[in-house]
């Protein structure tokens, strides 16, 4: 399993958190997702053989939560 932290500047409330969780959790390869509203970060544990950070970026972009950076 791999882990990444996505910096998402547009996170501001629980609605944002819910939308992000609903967008990422069903994706194949995503094992765990946690949203830190105050830090504006999304922490993801994933199977790097099934999904990659670029796909996660694209999913969040579709939901109007562009990713500023990933670590």
CA distance 10 to 12: 6
Burial of 20 by CB count in 10 Å (0-12 exposed, 13-18 middle, 19+ buried)?
buried
CA distance 8 to 27: 19
Overall number of domains in the chain: 1
3-class secondary-structure state, position 66: coil
CATH code for the domain of 55: 3.30.70.100
Q: What is the pLDDT of residue 41?
A: 98
Domain with 30 in it: 2-70
pLDDT in tens, 12-66: 999 999 999 999 999 999 999 999 999 999 999 999 999 999 999 999 999 999 9
Q: What is the pLDDT of residue 7?
A: 98
The model scores a pTM over 0.85? yes
């Amino acid at each position: 399993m791999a882990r990444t932290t996505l910096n998402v500047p547009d996170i501001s409330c629980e609605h944002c958190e819910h939308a992000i969780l609903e967008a990422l959790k069903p994706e194949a390869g995503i094992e765990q997702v946690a949203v830190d509203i105050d830090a504006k970060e999304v922490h993801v544990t994933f199977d790097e053989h099934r999904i990659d950070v670029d796909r996660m970026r694209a999913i969040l972009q579709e939901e109007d939560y562009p990713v500023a950076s990933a670590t």
